[in-house]
């Protein structure tokens, strides 16, 4: 967003949520409601803390906090603070052998269509209210909301445009935009390359061959 330009309704909603979450937990504090919520969620993940255990420690913080409404009251509220920024994830069941996803046209399948491996853990028949538990699951992080958040900040938005605003013809490779592939793309797709806010995504295979 350019300076002096009014944000749209969605961006303004994000700024309002951010301002509310960035209130200090007390006057002069360096921690904010948002940072506390993130650290609480991180501690549960890093140390495998149960929800009840986390709620117990949160109550200890509330007992000594000068402002009772500056700290999430429990694990559920901490999740609510973070999820309000719209950076959600999607849980997708996958084959235990890693050969397929139970997604879209295959979302109703109960076994692998290639090798017949079961999608869910076996029901031992001990609980009539048995809930199906997938053998393996992945977490998909939608990329569009995350890219929108990068452009919501003037600092990160400036970095997103770095490839366009810092062009130099000195034959040094300091950014992918200095490479021949990037320049060839610019020459082929002139309209796309003319807008510095357009985003280019690259695929990193991270050591595995995606063509097998």
Q: What is the pTM of this model?
A: 0.68
Q: What is the mean pLDDT of residues 115-130?
A: 79
pLDDT band at 205 (very low <50, low <70, confident <90, very high): confident
Angstrom CA distances, 44 to 60, 65, 76, 89, stand at: 16, 21, 12, 18
* Among candidate residues 39, 46, 100, 42, the one with its CA nearest the CA of residue 71: 39
Tokens representing 117 are: 């491996």
Instruction: Provide the pLDDT for residue 6.
Output: 72
Q: Give the tens place of pLDDT for each residue, 26-39.
A: 888 888 988 999 99
Q: Are 138 and 101 in contact (CB under 8 A)?
A: yes
Angstrom CA distances, 45 to 7, 142, 165, 177, stand at: 35, 21, 40, 37
For the cut 50, the answer to whether the pLDDT of residue 212 exceeds it is no
* Among candidate residues 48, 78, 72, the one with its CA nearest the CA of residue 59: 72
If one compares 193 and 171, the residue with the highest pLDDT of the two is 193
Q: Give the tens place of pLDDT for each residue, 48-75.
A: 899 999 999 999 989 988 887 888 999 9
Looking up tokens 């869910």, which residue turns up? 120
Q: What is the mean pLDDT of residues 71-93?
A: 89
pLDDT band at 115 (very low <50, low <70, confident <90, very high): very high
pLDDT band at 103 (very low <50, low <70, confident <90, very high): very high
Q: What is the mean pLDDT of residues 86-92?
A: 87
- As a dihedral over the C-alpha atoms of residue 94, residue 99, residue 102, residue 103, rounded to 10 degrees, the angle is 110
Q: What is the mean pLDDT of residues 177-182?
A: 90
Q: Where are the domains of the chain?
A: 9-83, 90-140, 161-194
């Amino acid at each position: 967003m350019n300076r002096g330009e009014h944000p749209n309704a969605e961006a303004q909603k994000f700024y309002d949520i951010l301002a509310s979450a960035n209130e200090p937990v007390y006057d002069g504090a360096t921690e904010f409601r948002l940072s506390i919520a993130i650290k609480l969620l991180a501690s549960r993940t890093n140390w495998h803390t149960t929800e009840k255990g986390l709620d117990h420690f949160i109550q200890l913080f509330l007992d000594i906090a000068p402002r009772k409404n500056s700290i999430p009251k429990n694990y559920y509220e901490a999740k609510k603070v973070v999820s309000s920024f719209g950076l959600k994830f999607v849980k997708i069941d996958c084959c235990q052998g890693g050969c397929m996803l139970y997604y879209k046209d295959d979302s109703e399948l109960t076994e692998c269509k290639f090798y017949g491996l079961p999608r869910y853990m076996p029901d031992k028949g001990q609980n009539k209210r048995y809930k199906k538990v997938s053998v393996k699951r992945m977490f998909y992080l939608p990329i569009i909301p995350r890219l929108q958040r990068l452009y919501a900040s003037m600092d990160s938005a400036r970095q997103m445009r770095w490839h366009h605003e810092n062009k130099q013809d000195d034959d040094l490779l300091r950014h992918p935009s200095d490479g021949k592939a990037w320049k060839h793309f610019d020459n082929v797709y002139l309209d796309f390359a003319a807008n510095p806010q357009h985003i280019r995504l690259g695929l990193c295979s991270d050591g595995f061959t995606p063509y097998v």
